[in-house]
Amino acid sequence: METPKPPRDLSAPTKRWFASIAATFELEPHHVRLLELAARAWDRAEQARKVLAKEGLTVADRYGQLKPHPCVGIEKDSAIRFARMTRELSLDVSPPDSRPPRHGGQTY
């Protein structure tokens, strides 16, 4: 099977990460899709992080009350998606929690 190429819309560092994973692991077509989702989630989290670094963690609502910047949720959700995709691909050397990756039809 040919080594998959990183999607063009990824950032340069994420393209390098994608390429290194694709070259290291033998991936089935559905694994490539999961890897693409992980890569896009990482880039989205990084985009949100950059906005937060520039604009701050909070924004004022129409009443002047501070509330979390919308990018806080975007960063969090994207980081969770990245972690889930890398877990599903079994890319972690050791999982960060006691829940093992799902394999086949096993349920927990």
Distance of alpha carbon 32 from alpha carbon 47, whole angstroms: 22
**Domain limits, the chain:** 12-88
| Residue 22 · residue 4 · CB < 8 Å | yes
Q: What is the pLDDT of residues 14-30, one digit of tens each?
A: 999 999 999 998 899 99
Q: What is the pLDDT of residues 89-106, one digit of tens each?
A: 988 644 334 455 555 555
Confirm whether pTM is higher than 0.85: no
Q: What is the pLDDT of residues 46-72, one digit of tens each?
A: 999 999 999 999 999 999 999 999 999
Looking at the DSSP bridge assignments, the partners of residue 59 are 67
Task: Find where tokens 């096993």 sit.
Answer: 106
